[in-house]
């Protein structure tokens, strides 16, 4: 099980990576825009902090444009992964890029059939978006379970990446289903460390330790 951080905030990435729990990073145009900094500058700095996969989005209206944009982005660092849209043109670009040695991450997947097509195209990662599904009363945990079953049934090599997790229950559903990767905000990572009973228990231990003869 791998944990990626989903942000364009380099200081948040530094804090999260310092825990030793972070295996990679995902970004998107919104995250980069929120940083207020040039795209390539942000991506280059992230890649210098985290040696694992760093997903950056290629933009284009057809496969040729996506490939061209991806080749340009891939030159930033060796650990770049290119995010590709889940559509016909995107999946046409995936095998072209993979054949060139450029890893891809098909993003904005909301159904098990989309996931199957992305894995069949040969993407390194397939990103399933959870919270947006839950917002429209679709059960995202079922999608994760179905996606892992499809991967197993056909021995696809793509890693299933669960994205847009907002709660610890989202993370737990992914762990139960055996998702390869979850990508989460820094805040959720640090929430996962905490439990009220842990806090109470440790406080009691500290109090009692003061009574122990040294």
Catalytic machinery residues: 83
Tell me the mean pLDDT in the region 24-49. Answer: 96
Query: In terms of Cα–Cα distance, which of 170, 190, 145 is closest to 18?
Result: 190
Contact present, 118 and 85 (Cβ < 8 Å): no
Mean pLDDT of the chain: 95
Output Rg (C-alpha) for the chain, integer angstroms.
19
Tell me the mean pLDDT in the region 141-148. Answer: 93
Tell me the mean pLDDT in the region 153-179. Answer: 96
The model's confidence at residue 138, banded by pLDDT at 50, 70 and 90, is: confident
Percent of the chain with pLDDT over 70: 99
| The pLDDT value given to residue 204 | 95
Domains of the chain: 2-209 (3.20.20.70)
| The pLDDT value given to residue 214 | 67
Q: Strand, helix or coil at 28?
A: coil
Query: Which DSSP category does 107 fall into?
Result: E
53-100 pLDDT per residue, tens: 999 999 999 999 999 999 999 999 999 999 999 999 999 999 999 999
Between CA 207 and CA 199 the distance in angstroms is: 12
């Amino acid at each position: 099980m791998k944990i990626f951080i989903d942000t364009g905030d380099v200081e948040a990435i530094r804090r999260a990576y310092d825990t030793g729990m972070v295996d990679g990073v995902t970004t998107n145009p919104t995250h980069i825009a929120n940083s207020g900094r040039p795209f390539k500058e942000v991506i280059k700095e992230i890649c210098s902090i985290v040696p694992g996969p760093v997903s950056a989005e290629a933009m284009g209206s057809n496969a040729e444009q996506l490939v061209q944009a991806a080749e340009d982005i891939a030159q930033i660092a060796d650990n770049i992964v290119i995010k590709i849209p889940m559509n016909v043109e995107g999946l046409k670009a995936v095998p072209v890029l993979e054949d060139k040695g450029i890893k891809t991450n098909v993003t904005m997947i909301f159904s098990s059939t989309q996931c199957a097509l992305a894995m069949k195209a040969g993407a390194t990662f397939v990103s399933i978006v959870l919270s947006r599904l839950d917002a429209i009363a679709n059960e995202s945990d079922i999608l994760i379970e179905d996606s892992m079953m499809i991967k197993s049934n056909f021995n696809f090599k793509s890693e299933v990446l669960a994205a847009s997790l907002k709660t610890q229950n989202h993370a737990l559903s992914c762990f139960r289903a055996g998702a390869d990767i979850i990508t989460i905000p820094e805040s959720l990572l640090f929430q996962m460390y905490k439990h009220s009973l842990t806090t109470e228990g440790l406080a009691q231990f500290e109090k009692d330790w003061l009574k122990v003869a040294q």
